[in-house]
Chains A and B, each alone.
Chain A
Amino acid sequence: MKLNELYQAKHELWLKVLFTSFAVSDEKIKSELYEMACIEYRHLKWVSNKLKEENIEYNYDKYAIDIQKNTNFEYFTYLISEIQLVMKEYNPDEVLSARMLSDEFYFVTRLTRLLNDKSNDATITAFNKERIYENKDLGKTSTDALTIFLFEETYKEYELIFVYSYMQNYTNSTTLYNVYQDLIDESQYHLKCFGNMLAKMGILAIPRTLMKEIYKREDIKQFLLDGIEEEKAAKEECVKLARAVKDEELSKFFEFINFQENYHIELMQKAIKIL
């Protein structure tokens, strides 16, 4: 498998592990799967570094991923199979591959162990489309607004992780690198929050594929200026939702997210100044 094809396989694997962590309800298993996903993301970053070093083009294309399973055990079996498929493509004599092999060998061991204890199994409700968030009665209008918001923002955070990752991989500026890393970290956190909320509402879905026109940008200043406008728009949506949704806990959460967006704008303005 060519290195850029491996990158696509790793990208898909990261999504499979990450969205499984959202789908599973048990907090301990969820946390363990999320940590595996974080490590898979680091693999992805290292492979992208290698692609840049070897001057090989890559993209964020992905094949359709069928993430819907009925039980935890179906997920564990699925992930073991998917991980092992990717492991076959590594060159064990190469340092990065050896590292990825070792990590994923451990993941397979952990998943196999989970399968050996029946108490780890449970029915998955992340796709039941019931759209009830933690037994709260939000009313149809607020539920629909929350649904649309979560789909919009889950995709947006996924997009931002990779847009900034791509920019980060190709920058020679330490300041810009750090700004992009902060923005990636923030988006990873938001994606985790929104992904788990989608799962709780029974409407979990993997984000659509990123178009090349979105992340292959020549004019970085304009890209950051566009990004600031998008952050402002997202803030506005957060504020409206926070005020209109009939639940104090959710309102406070959206106010919290909204305030975090302020600092994203600050970071992007800092980046623009040094361009």
Chain B
Amino acid sequence: MAELNEDQIRDVNAEVLEHMMNPKNYGVIEDASCVGMGLDPDTGEFAVMYLDIDKEDNISDIKYGCKACQDTVVAGSLFTQMVKGATLEYGIEAAKRLELKIKDAPAKQQACSGMVIKSFQAAILHKKSKEEGGTEDMATLELGVSCEGVENKE
């Protein structure tokens, strides 16, 4: 009998199940302060992050959306829940820590969580661009490793 492969063996504990059944902060912020997309150019899958930043540089609101798998949905739910209401600096650090944490995970999970991190980092870039007079609707960052496990060419 064929065994489930590494990508299919995921522990669904109570916390993960809650985020699957009721993803937190899933949606859109109209007229957000900044918007970022994390894109897997190989598969076309993406995550989009919307941030509202107040004058004290706090993440007053955050929402995300995605065309991706459940891993990305759960990662987005967990990440946005963690950083909502926190300072932007905290959010940036949290994204860096998460990036390090998933560095040795299977390729698929790296890509799925990576999409969320990249979308957040892209939103920060969008914020900086707008402050410098940029007019684009959002910024996009591509994943380094595709969901398929293939390294994306620069």
Contact = CB atoms under 8 A, between A and B. Distances in A.
Interface string A24-57: 0000000000000000000000000000000000
Consensus secondary structure, chain A interface? helix
Interface stretch (A93-101, A209-217, A257-265): A209-217
Contacts of A142: 4
Nearest to B73: A208
A241 B6 CA distance: 13
B22 interface: yes
B10 A144 contact: yes
A85 interface: no
Given A144-B11, A151-B20, A208-B73, A226 B44 contact: yes
Given A144-B11, A240-B8, A244-B2, A214 B69 contact: no
B5 A240 contact: yes
B127 to A, nearest CB: 21
A243 to B, nearest CB: 4
B140 to A, nearest CB: 12
Contacts of B65: 208-209, 211
B21 interface: yes
Interface residues of A, number: 26
A148 interface: yes
A143 B17 CA distance: 12
Q: How large is the interface on B (under 10, 10 to 19, 20 to 34, 35 or more residues)?
A: 20 to 34
Given A211-B48, A211-B65, A141 B70 contact: no
B46 interface: yes
Interface string B1-36: 111110011111010010011110011100000000
B66 interface: yes
A147 B23 contact: no
Contacts of A144: 9-12
A127 to B, nearest CB: 8
Nearest to B46: A213
A211 B66 contact: yes
A113 B28 CA distance: 40
A229 B70 CA distance: 18
Given A129-B17, A226-B44, A211 B67 contact: yes
Contact of A145 (B9, B23, B28): B9
B20 A205 contact: yes
B1 A244 contact: yes
Contacts of B2: 240, 243-244
B26 to A, nearest CB: 5
A243 B5 CA distance: 11
Contacts of A182: none
Contact of A205 (B11, B21, B44): B21
B66 A145 contact: no
Contacts of B11: 144
Contact of A208 (B9, B10, B17, B23): B23
Interface of A: 61, 129, 131, 141-145, 147-148, 151-152, 203, 205, 208-209, 211, 213-214, 226, 229, 237, 240-241, 243-244
12 contacts: A129-B21, A141-B4, A147-B17, A148-B70, A151-B20, A203-B17, A203-B20, A211-B65, A241-B8, A243-B2, A244-B1, A244-B3
